[in-house]
Chains A and B, each alone.
Chain A
Amino acid sequence: MSTHDNIALSVRGAGKFYGDRCNYCRNENNPLNNNICPYCRTVFAVDDVSFDLYKGEILGIVGESGSGKSTLMKMLYFDQERSAGEYYITGYAEGVPNVFTLSSQHRREIQNEILGMVYQNPVYGLKMDFSSMSNIAEKLIAAGSRNVGEMTAAGDHFLDKVNIPLDRKFEPPENFSGGMQQRVQIAKALSNYPPILLLDEVTTGLDVSVQADVLELIKEIQRELGISMIVVSHDLAIIRMLCDRTMVMLNGSVAEAGITDQILEDPKHHYTQQLVYSIL
């Protein structure tokens, strides 16, 4: 493993398999039918993925539907058990343990104190019928706060930062538009200043103008707070706007990774070429 000073997290050989795998697909040289074993039908949702996230950078993950982006994010946030691989977080126990293998109590500790997650669908990230303020407090309570005054102060600060009018802070997100819900989710994820933020298709399904707002907000947060982020999207324009480096996923694996501009201007993998030329 690497404990490089600039690294926020490292992933090595991460895999998520749905199925029991057979002798054929256990041999990684044998070709699969996209991400499915032709013999035992095991789905290789994420297959041998390795990468580093640097401190303060925004790393993009791009790829078509079903390429394993969300599965990877859920593994990183411990929403889903991994089938294979290692995961090191520099901010946890000096980056020594493979955090994939920690007890659920310790994983929850990391989830509560080091990570923030913004889901594509706000339903997963928010309690729709609790006040927006309580939604933000949930993250703070989980991280150990027991002081109402402190939590509401943090709530005010972050709701204001994401442009939710403070006279609506006691309203539940179910009263809000999609863009506002997404902004409450971001405020919640940020509320205890996690060093790492995971964002999964946070602008999908939003109006273009609202999309621009949310993207601007993400950039601003990264500039101001220096949080390391992973941004998942299948929209190359968003990746181009936000991300320093980009990883292209195909059938659960990394097809290509590198500096975003280089990947977009001079794609090496034929899949990336198709992806890039189809939108240019």
Chain B
Amino acid sequence: MKIHKYDTVIVGAGGAGMRAAIESTKRSRTAVLTKLYPTRSHTGAAQGGMAAALANVEEDNWEWHTFDTIKGGDYLVDQDAAEILAKEAIDAVLDLEKMGLPFNRTPDGTIDQRRFGGHSRNHGEAPVRRSCYAADRTGHMILQTLYQNCVKEGVEFFNEFYVLDQLITEVDGVKKSAGVVAFELATGEIHVFQAKSVIYASGGTGKFFKVTSNAHTLTGDGQAACYRRGLPLEDMEFFQFHPTGIWRMGILLTEGARGEGGILRNKDGERFMEKYAPVMKDLASRDVVSRSIYTEIREGRGCGPEGDHVYLDLTHLPPEQLDAKLPDITEFARTYLGIEPYTDPIPIQPTAHYAMGGIPTNVAGEVLSDNDTVVPGLYAAGEVACVSVHGANRLGTNSLLDINVFGKRAGIAAAEYAHRSDFVELPENPAQLVVDQVERLRESTGNERVAEIRKELQETMDANVMVFRTEQTIKTAVEKIAELRERYKNVSVQDKGKRFNTDLLEAIELGNLLDLAEVMAVSALARKESRGGHYREDYPNRDDVNFMRHTMAYREVGKDGKDSIRLDYKPVVQTRYQPMERKY
């Protein structure tokens, strides 16, 4: 076991982690621990754009953006946070441009902007061009640009280090962050990083679904590490299903495709979104579009012999426009489906995409241990966190924004905290939990296989807690997850070695997915209403009287050593917008 000491440790090198690192490296001795090489992070998969009311191509302002974000989130958004997001968006985009990001340009040479779902002029009047983009590889360009600037700033990376535990020490009755424990992939060695500040920027958790746009590595490690140490997880029932994933594969086709004029059609060729969202049509918010697609499918208007998908039709757009604005996604259709998007509509279905919930933080990125207590020295930003700027449903282009705005804020806040604070003493045997976990898995002779349990988990999640949920389906999922968690205790790995043992790490990642899936299902069961991404067929309406509040899920360990989930609730911060019915 090795012990390292840094002022600030950042867990994750995606957009949020690297944006934080650029700030904190200037201000404090910083280490970035990342399980992937930075440029492998899933921020690089983002396609469509990053929202900011630059008003480069038409009238726009950050107040409209704030409103759209709150409405898009079905009023579960903390309005003070949404205001910061929309206001600081403009500088966030300009910062990236100055760092070198090659945005597409207008004829005037300014940053070009395009339409995106849920973004409107003047509180819902019509779609507005607010998304700043670089073809359909905006995330790639953000990730590359941030990495380039990390190279410039000399950010210190520990690549292929998996953070598996969060260390917390109680000082005078206050829980404080003391550091993290990491597993080095190359050697199997365990490292303890003592740090004054720790920032989680470890991304999402989509891999508990089968059809998902998320990478294999998005297994919610950060959320799980904090949760296991008694910290709450907020709004985990809210998961976004993006309308246009490649049929059966889940690979994302950006909403930018509809922003450029693409149309969703059912088997009769009908532009069905006109029925569900007369104003915004194909550019209604994602939860609305995904439900509409499944409604078409359920009512027998799906395409193909099994009627299990619909079409994204780009055939009326000029090939030059597709080549210039959507080169990557048209290539995905060619590569993975053998389809030519110039002439063929593309078969699509909703795909599990984005975790609105996560580690609760305030607007400075500080992690909360309950509704209002901050854990000194602990920060989170990006998809791992819940500020909450996305509420019950995130608007497209608001996450690339979130990672930049709150990544930067967390980086500054963490470094400044490190400056004015001392190291917190490490707990006794700091690496114990990880050592035990690794040893148990390596030595286990149990007969359960990681791949089988993961497959069953993904199948139950897809079948029971996707776009449509009921008490019955969620209960089925809760029971199945409980069974899988039991079976997980008998899981064994074949690779017993130390070097690059990805077999072992997949087992650990599965453990995280199981814990988080349970939190998601239990939180969903208790929310007896429909709001944003959480749709209960047995409670189809939003219920502001009982459920205008954030879910806070805590892990509790009983005297018998068994763990269970305790749910609590946190008020939503409302400033100037009164909840209204959402219409698109």
Q: Do A and B come from one complex?
A: no
Residues of chain A at the chain B interface (Cβ within 8 Å) = none
